[in-house]
Amino acid sequence: MSNLQITPYRLTLQDWQFKAADENEWLSAEVPGTVHTDLLAHNKIPDPFYGTNEKDVQWIDKKDWEYITTIQVDEAILQHSHLELVFHGLDTYADVYMNDQLVLSADNMFRTWRADVKGYAKAGENTIRIYFRSPINEDLPKLEALGYALPASNDQSDVGELGEQRVSIFARKAPYHYGWDWGPRFVTSGIWREAELVAWSEVRIEDVYIRQNHVTAESAELTAVIQIYSEQKRKGNVHIRTEDQNWEQQVTLQEGTDTIEIPLTLENPKLWWSRGLGEAHLYTFTISVTEAVDQQKTFAEQSVRTGIRSVRLVREKQGDSPGTSFYFELNGVPVFAKGANHIPNDSFLPRVTYERYRHEIVSAAEANMNMLRVWGGGIYENNEFYELCDEYGIMVWQDFMFACSMYPGDEEFLDSVQAEAEENVRRLRNHPSVVLWCGNNEMDSAWAHYIEDGGWGWKKNYTAEQREQIWNDYKAVFHELLPDVVASESPGIDYWASSPMVDMTDTVEQHTQGLTDSGDIHYWGVWHGSEPFERYNEYVGRFMSEYGFQSFPEYRSVRTYAEEADMELESEVMLRHQKNGSGNRLIKEYMDKYLPEPKDFPSFLYMSQVLQAEAMQMAIEAHRRNKPYCMGTLYWQMNDCWPVASWAGMDYFGRWKALHYYAKRSFRDIAVSVDSSNKEQFDIYAISDVLAPAALTIRVKVLGTDGGLYKEIPQSFSLAGNECLKLMSLSKDHLLDGVDPHQAVLLVELEHDGVIIDSQLSYFVSYKDIALNQPNITVTQKEENGITVIELTTDELARQVWLSADNAGEFSDNFFDMLPGQTYRVHFCQLNEIKDAHLSQPQYGLSAAAMIPSRAEGLQVTSMADYIK
């Protein structure tokens, strides 16, 4: 059998040109790409991210655009019995022509589009042309036909010069393209994923799914579900191999597509674990189809990679605890989920490279995270994202792409959603990292159908009949269609209809309204509600799937979109790069409450990051201290899609903000946490997310701001695996024992085998009342066994010490406080470029990702004293 059959011929479609449909000039285009980025490459538009340029490029989405290329097809290719054009992503309304013949019409950005072009292709030169219709002009008639507007509160139609006409809900297209309260409005068009011509004959493996029926440490009962297309009825053999095991089964293939199911058993399987619990082991299963008589003749072959694990969302009544649990059980072990919400890494999706994905996932692993939530206003991410999560043991809570809106329910829309859901669940179901499918973001609680005055006030705009129609359309998608797709295509993975939600009861008890004892919670009292940070200690639910606080990026990042003249909180540029209407005001109000006054605007940028980090530390540790009642904390948000003031922990350029360093410390697998919410005492906890018990020692020290020791209280104890333990409550009066609270600090150190594995510094007065003198910080960079070590000492209390370097990379620690008499050691690291590097699994949450040490060039070290008046 020749390679003609086992290896389909694939030709990537390249050398594209594009133009506006009403113009004549063709320009070169980058594919994958977008109209916006192609126009930018030809200097036809200014940089959309710079200054106030966002408003100057809104005309692009009102026009139709064309893309064209020619390909050479030789006679040998035409000898194949099947010839397909395959578009892995068309954004969004597109008609595709081959040699001037319409071969497909696309209307969903989230799908792969295929066209059989065997009857249209010819030997020699072939022309492929794509006509992209304006997503705005395509959907405005749908709004008019519906007769009333559906809620779409984040659709920035005013920025798009459409007034109140919000059309985002009609397009199966990334919702954030229409604007959000952290992102710009760039409604893109284009060939956003790869396009190819595929030729094949005889037999093709269309899909392989390794279904995991029952998994334990002793045995994994699996089923290889294989879809095979054969041009004719034939006998054959299916071979499956992985590591040191092989299986074989004779099959009779019918003409057309057959689904073959082959049982597989792995004895003592190497299980896939999330970061911190064990190795994220991955198996590669290779499936080949051979001729029955001559097995040397291979028709088709395909490999898939997956991890063997059992996972479930546990929602059960537990003892006397109120409500029901909400946690993920992995391989029989309850896992406390630690992480953040992920949004797309760019407004222009084809810009997102493998390296950018890897930077994000390694950053998550380095910060001791074990989960990311792929939020429903973006995209079903590229395969590389999930492959990296598989490799690094990062669990994925995966939303379907619906967020903060109510959607239509006509037959055409439902059919499109059905096809989208089926394809994406199938595409992602072999990834062990995907542990949950969630229907949408915030729609159940925003509409709150069963609470007349509940939700976001949306219902009051509609008649009783319209309300019922909108709610029935909602249920058709999120209570019927999507759960059926998940159950059918990915059995064993749980479905959650909306985040947040209490339970799917079709009663008043369904909707999350305030603090509940069941389901998941988005808490925005701090920030949107202007509540004090201390509320985080009280507002703790079963699973905190959203909460957050904003900051600005650092000065270097801000200067990529603003000039010096724009460096003022209320400048037009700064307001354009603050998408939350009250954002700048809220940052300043909270800063006035909690921190000293910054001396200038660059200092304000720095202080905003400190403010954000302090807020998120309080929240994260409140959630962890309430384990096992609370079993998850995912802050908003991990990343940015453009340079902006936002809730992100690392900015658009991948630079870690103070928040990310704080998260790294607060997410340590074995951690100490000090609760000072009771103004008169400190409550001290030890928290473990690892499985093995540990013999530990806690040392509570009262130190002077000059580094002198006033008091030390040691205590040895045993911490069980996966446990939170309150160790002691100490009154401030007892600790101070007459020492001036302005001149003292509380240092709590956690030791294992004589090594300090965590520590936390707390203060007896508010941050505003701490007297800060200018510290003298000495810095030494030296090599130790091939590793660059940065050593720092100080002669005064130095708060929020910030290390920065000219070259790209991150520090092992940053934004920390220093006391005299101690030496602080920090490493500077860059990403290891080895693609398949796996995490080591060090004990107790020390450095845990594929990073390589490097020298910090142009090292600068500052502290809060440099930034305040």
Domains and CATH numbers, the chain: 3-197 (2.60.120.260), 202-306 (2.60.40.10), 668-771 (2.60.40.10), 772-869 (2.60.40.10)
pLDDT at 838: 30
Q: Which pairing describes strands 327-330 and 333-335: parallel, antiparallel, or unpaired?
A: antiparallel
Given CA atoms 624, 373, 520, 325 in this order, what sign does their dihedral have? Answer: negative
Given CA atoms 166, 167, 168, 170 in this order, what sign does their dihedral have? Answer: positive
Report the distance separating Cα 661 and Cα 655, nearest Å. 11
pLDDT at 831: 65
Secondary structure letter of residue 107 according to DSSP: -
Find tokens 């199938």 and name the residue. Answer: 426
Report the distance separating Cα 791 and Cα 788, nearest Å. 10
Query: pLDDT tens for residues 329-366?
Result: 999 999 999 999 999 999 999 999 999 999 999 999 99
Query: pLDDT tens for residues 103-141?
Result: 999 999 999 999 999 999 999 999 999 999 999 999 999
Distance of CA 352 to the CA centre of its chain: 13
Distance of CA 658 to the CA centre of its chain: 19
Q: How far is CA 147 from CA 137, 152, 413, in A?
A: 17, 15, 17
For the chain, give the number of residues: 869
Secondary structure letter of residue 477 according to DSSP: I
pTM above 0.85, yes or no: yes
Query: How many other CB atoms are found less than 10 A from the CB of residue 298?
Result: 20
- Mean pLDDT, all residues of the chain: 94
**Alpha-carbon Rg of the chain, whole angstroms?**
28
Q: At what angle do helices 411-428 and 482-489 cross, to 10 degrees?
A: 30
Two structure tokens written together for 491: 């059995």
Report which of 513, 402, 472, 414 is spatially closest to residue 154, judged by C-alpha positions.
402
Query: pLDDT tens for residues 376-395?
Result: 999 999 999 999 999 999 99
- Cβ–Cβ < 8 Å for 91, 34: yes
Tell me the β-bridge partners of 331.
Answer: none
Report the distance separating Cα 54 and Cα 52, nearest Å. 6
Taking 70 as the pLDDT cut, the residues of the chain under it are 1-7, 831-851
What SS3 class is residue 737? coil
pLDDT at 783: 87
Element of type H or E holding 354? helix 354-366
Report which of 93, 92, 89, 98 is spatially closest to residue 68, judged by C-alpha positions.
98
pLDDT at 850: 54
Element of type H or E holding 90? strand 90-91
The residue type found at 822 is Q
pLDDT at 498: 98
Q: At what angle do helices 658-666 and 601-625 cross, to 10 degrees?
A: 20
The dihedral over CA atoms of 191, 192, 193, 198, expressed in degrees to the nearest 10, equals: -10
pLDDT at 178: 98
Question: Environment class of residue 719 by beta-carbon count within 10 Å: exposed (0-12), middle (13-18) or buried (19+)?
Answer: buried
